[in-house]
Structure 1
């Protein structure tokens, strides 16, 4: 899966638009100085590292040697092996921004992991966290990616508060394509397909259309908290 992500992440509608949405949230909710310290936890195949590098001094962390190897092919900064919540190779109270994008759903101790993210932040530091939404969307894709759970917005909000964060904004997203995702997931479950189909690269026309539809949410999220979606995004403050 890391290889698949590495090969398609620069053009697949989901990865391209998700990155734009995260960067837009950073620009709206953080006023970072040029020497800001940024950590991307669960950096995977390096999707966010180059984009974050344009904002501040960026570091990466992942539990997978394969992921780190892919990240280092496209990112020259520091990427360390680590695992939330107990095996983190970075010092506490150090980072001005931490991104944990589709990370905590992989971890049994999600609240402890959120507390660790908080401890890694400098005073007034912020984190941007995304997770997959709704257990009724559970599919082989979640199993292939070793997910432990999917969240409701209320559940994630409660765990963020329990971890000591102040929640500045939280919303579902990937809302406009929710009906399509729901139907595809249910068909895949019925036909017992493996999860790889969720990240198949669509043809150029379909990919273009999906990118444009999903891309509308970048603007909607500036004015509204979306009422449902395939994923959840939260901005939290130490």
Structure 2
């Protein structure tokens, strides 16, 4: 991503409704679908400025990877962790069979070789380990937001399933999310295209609107962890390696 995009994320990711609600959804998925053992080893791939690390540390001992230098430095200051650099699938060295949970939270869409990356990460999971990933859904929602954030693609349920299963995983749970606000997002992106607005849709709303959006999006955590929602702005998957 561009430098100003990381800087903007660092300014808002502690309070912005999308980041805070997504953390609740990810936590719900971990608790319902992963159920990590005490002292689990967890790896976050593409931790950015580190806004998810404290949440992940509730479930075990966390390692992280982040290729962007300034973002990695900020994540280290926030978390106190030593965070590895490098690009997947070929520029990172990880221990085989080391992790009980590997998470990629809106990261896979940035990586040109998504299949190769998942194939590499599969061997880094311990027996019984799980992969948890979230990605942007619905390619027809492609907009300036995706361009600014350097997305390679948006996924459908079928395309995400193919890349995960093709990398040697079995999907345990798969669902769309950000479903309640889906019509609002569609309308905003359509308006931006019509008006030729070339900006990411991540502005910080007023405190009242931010609280309403946070509560609305975050309410999905009760459903997403156990049900498969049929549509939404994002997709989430929990998967485990096939035995080969």
TM-score > 0.5 by shorter chain = yes
Instruction: Say if 2:199 is the partner of 1:231.
Output: no
Deviations 1:147-205 (A, max 9, x none): 01000011101211111001000000000000110111111122222233x11100011
1:219 corresponds to: 222
1:117 corresponds to: 121
CA distance in structure 2 between the aligned counterparts of 1:220 and 1:30, rounded to whole angstroms = 16
- Matched ranges for 1:46-195 at <5 A: 46-195=50-199
Question: Taking structure 1 as reference, are residues 96 and 223 closer, same or farther at Cα in structure 2, changes over 3 Å only?
Answer: closer
Query: Number of residue pairs matched?
Result: 237
Instruction: Say if 2:28 is the partner of 1:24.
Output: yes
Is the contact between residue 24 and residue 218 of structure 1 (CA under 8 Å) also seen in structure 2? Answer: yes
5+ residue gaps, structure 1, are none
CA distance in structure 1 between the aligned counterparts of 2:70 and 2:197, rounded to whole angstroms = 25
**Deviation at residue 223 of structure 1 after TM alignment:** 4.1
Q: Pick one of 41, 44, 57 that aligns with 1:40.
A: 44
Instruction: Say if 2:18 is the partner of 1:7.
Output: no
Deviations 1:30-80 (A, max 9, x none): 232332111000000101111111211101101111210120121112211
Q: TM-score, normalising length from structure 1?
A: 0.96
1:208 corresponds to: 211
Is the contact between residue 143 and residue 195 of structure 1 (CA under 8 Å) also seen in structure 2? Answer: no
- The alignment yields a C-alpha RMSD, in angstroms, of 1.2
Is the contact between residue 80 and residue 89 of structure 1 (CA under 8 Å) also seen in structure 2? Answer: no
Q: Which has the higher contact order (CA 8 A, sep 6+)?
A: 2
Is the contact between residue 39 and residue 97 of structure 1 (CA under 8 Å) also seen in structure 2? Answer: yes
Is the contact between residue 97 and residue 121 of structure 1 (CA under 8 Å) also seen in structure 2? Answer: yes
Q: TM-score, normalising length from structure 2?
A: 0.94
Query: Which range moves more in the overlay, 85-94 or 103-112?
Result: 85-94
